[in-house]
Amino acid sequence: MQIYLPIAELSVNIFLLLGLGGIVGFLSGLFGVGGGFLMTPLLFFIGIPPTVAVASEANQIVASSVSGVLAHWRKSGVDFKMGVVLLVGGLLGSTMGVWLFTFLKGLGQIDLVISLCYVIFLGIIGLLMLMESVKASIREKRQGKVRKKLHKHLWVHDLPFKMRFRRSKLYISALVPLSVGFFVGVLAAIMGVGGGFIMVPAMIYLIGMPTSVVVGTSLFQIIFVTANVTFLQAVNNQTVDIVLALLLLLGGVIGAQFGTRMSTKLKGEHFRSLLAIMVLTVCVKLLYDLFSTPIDIYSISLGVTH
Amino acid sequence: MSKAYKLSSFLIFFLLFPILAKAEVILADLSTHKIEIDTNFTGTEVVLFGATDGVGDVVVAVRGPMSQATVRKKEKRAGIWMNVDHVTYKNVPKFYWVACSNRDKGCAPKAVKSRHQIGANNLRFKPVSLEPLEPQKDITYRKALLRNKKREGVYPEDIGKISFLGEKLFRTKLNFPANIPTGIYTVEVFQIRDDLLVGAQTIPLIARKVGFEAAIYNFAHNNSIAYGAVAVIIALIAGWMASVLFKKG
């Protein structure tokens, strides 16, 4: 059954969209990631214009993060104070990101920048995860467990404007979460992702937060950052397709429930390496597209340029 | 209204009348003047029918709404294909298609096609930039524009067939694909006799979104601040509802 998407201005099979939402939702439930970094490239692959895909996906992530954060809140896995500091950075960053997006779109370089961002970040995250899971499985075999410090204290933590974050058990400079939030906000706007897949590692390794509050806090601030991106994309570029977002969401919510149930039954380490391989596959496909000769070296777009 | 004016318009009418009468050697109309794009739209067919005075060939050109189009050229920089140069043209129809009664003879003589811009290759796009464009570059970009339009399916390459029923009546089907742009179309009907254009008529056609699609599109474009806010609120409610629904399950 075909459905005409009013903003994307094309006709797509409704079950394809529900299915994509379902699969990505399943994976995000299974691995505890937002899934935007998989969904947005998949939308490119099925022919949704990148500008619409990025903006509509941000809209979908608002919804999926709300349901995610409520679940974590019940388990008191949200550091609201840290969330607000990250959020301030995130709002500044995403506003800057949407502005950058509009600017690059005018220059005709937005598609390239989106692809490059994906290749770089999917590549880095994928490799890190793969290494981590390989290390973990080696460690498991050796059985030698080393007790870790509460968190590694880096020099950046001693910058001015120190703040106490009780739930994260940290006393560090507010500039660290502020700049992490800013950086991820810029990427969220350009890449059409919540940025959880960058935010989570940054919270663990850079800020030094305990893992129990990382996912919930990340989701908390993602709600606001993606809401900001959705709003600004709608105002500046008119590229938010509500119909597309809702269809993906519907599939995603159902898929996520199955994913979450599955994740409690299965072993984490093996699945993390599977996720790493999946992330790297998407990365390689995008990388290949950048280097391979296009069907036509000339392309067209309607409308005015600068 | 002055007498002189009345008289002169009377005279002009009489002077022009034979020409007007002569121009009406061809008369055509469409089965509908509105294409309505709704949720289930997968393309449509419009029937064009008409009559001539019996001699000559008929050519129909369907032209979509005009827009500007930017053609970008990619080059390999540091191994990566990126856009390096562009030309923007104006007066580019978003849709273009031709049908004629003598496809085997190429519809019409070259001179006629060129003068009346019949056929995608004869469309005269103008560069927006005021600086003159190198002729060679212009040709390359123009060709690229046509090639891309054809690939997108908005300049269908196959020429439609106009069939005559008897000597004077003709009809053809205009096919519109699922991805047709919205806006005002013009359907031009030409009659060609002895290598000359002897009659022409222009029929308007409107393609527009209707119902739910139109409402959303117009909302997003005419009131984008409210649209953005509504999009966010819907997402917040949907996320909350999902969480409540599945907590019990």
Least confident interval from A31-35, A210-214, B37-41: A31-35
pLDDT of residue B104: 84
Place of tokens 């209707």: B210
Top residue of A2, A4, A224, A306 to mutate, by most chain B CBs within 10 Å, is A4
Q: Residues 6 or more apart from B129 whose CB is under 8 A from it?
A: B87, B88
Given CB atoms, is B155 within the 8 Å cutoff of chain A?
no
Please give the pLDDT value at position A88: 94
Nearest-CA distance B119 → chain A (Å): 20
Pairwise CB contact (< 8 Å): A257 & B246 = yes
User: Residue holding tokens 């979104």?
Assistant: B209
pLDDT > 80? residue A264 = no
* Pair A24, A180: CB distance under 8 Å: no
Q: What confidence score (pLDDT) does residue B6 get?
A: 56
Mean pLDDT of A257-264: 75
Whether A134 contacts A273, CB under 8 Å: yes
Intra-chain end-to-end CA distance of chain B, in Å: 82
Tens digits of per-residue pLDDT, A116-149?
988 998 898 888 888 877 887 777 666 555 545 5
CA A37 vs CA A5, A117, A275, B46, B232: distances in Å: 22, 11, 12, 43, 20
Instruction: Residue B82: list chain A partners with CB under 8 A.
Output: 109, 112
- The pLDDT value recorded for residue A150 is 52
Kindly report the pTM of this predicted structure. Answer: 0.75
Please tell me if residue A51 touches chain B, with a CB cutoff of 8 Å.
no
Structure tokens at A286: 């995008």
Mean pLDDT, residues A100-109: 85
Structure tokens at A285: 């496909």
Give per-residue pLDDT as tens, A50-73: 889 989 998 998 888 888 888 778
> How would you classify the pairing of strands B26-30 and B183-193?
unpaired
Asked if B228's CB is within 8 angstroms of A253's CB, the reply is no
> What pLDDT is stored for residue A84 in this prediction?
92
- Distance from A195 to chain B by nearest Cα, in Å? 18
Q: Residue A13: closest CA among chain B residues belongs to which residue?
A: B40
- Least Cα separation, residue B165 to chain A (angstroms): 36
> How much is the pLDDT for A245?
93
B212, closest residue in chain A (CA to CA):
A6
Six-digit token string for B130: 């005021």
SS3 (DSSP) at A208? coil
Q: What is the DSSP string of A76-111?
A: T---HHHHHHHHHHHHHHHHHHHHHHHHHHHHT-HH
B238 closest CB neighbour out of A4, A63, A238: A63
Size of interface A-B (CB pairs under 8 A): 176
A151 Cα to chain B: minimum distance (Å): 33
* pLDDT score recorded for residue A1: 80
How does pLDDT run along chain B (249 residues), one tens digit per residue? 455 555 565 555 555 444 444 556 789 999 999 999 887 788 899 999 999 887 888 999 999 999 999 999 999 888 888 889 999 998 899 999 999 998 888 888 888 898 888 999 899 888 888 788 888 999 999 999 999 999 988 999 889 999 998 888 999 999 998 888 889 999 999 999 888 888 899 999 999 988 888 899 999 999 999 999 999 999 999 888 888 887 654
More confident residue, A273 or B75: B75
Share of chain A above pLDDT 70, in %: 90
- Taking an 8 Å cut-off on Cβ atoms, the answer to whether B217 and A6 are in contact is yes
Return the number of other C-beta atoms located less than 10 Å from residue A164's C-beta. 10
The region that residue B131 occupies, defined by phi over 0 for left and psi between -120 and 50 for alpha, beta otherwise, is beta
Residues B187, B61 contacting (CB under 8 angstroms): yes
Determine contact: B85 vs chain A, CB below 8 A.
no
**Structure tokens that stand for B56 in this block:** 């000559």
SS3 B229: helix
Q: Which of B86, B144, B246 sits opposite A108 (nearest CB)?
A: B86
Decide if A230 and B231 are in contact by the 8 Å CB cutoff.
yes
- A11 interface with B at CB cutoff 8 Å: yes
Q: Tell me, what's the pLDDT at B234? A: 93
pLDDT given at position B7: 56
Cβ(A202)–Cβ(A210) below 8 Å: no
Give the pLDDT band (50/70/90) at residue A306. very low
If contacts are CB pairs under 8 Å, which of residues 8-67 in chain B contact chain A? 37-42, 67
Does A66 touch chain B if contact means CB atoms closer than 8 Å? yes
SS (H, E, C) A131-193: HHHHHHHHHHHHCCCCCCCCCCCCHHHHCCCEEEECCCCEEEECHHHHHHHHHHHHHHHHHCC
For residue A197, what pLDDT band results from cuts at 50, 70 and 90? confident
Structure tokens at A239: 């590229």
**Which 105-124 residues of chain A touch chain B by CB within 8 A?**
108-109, 112
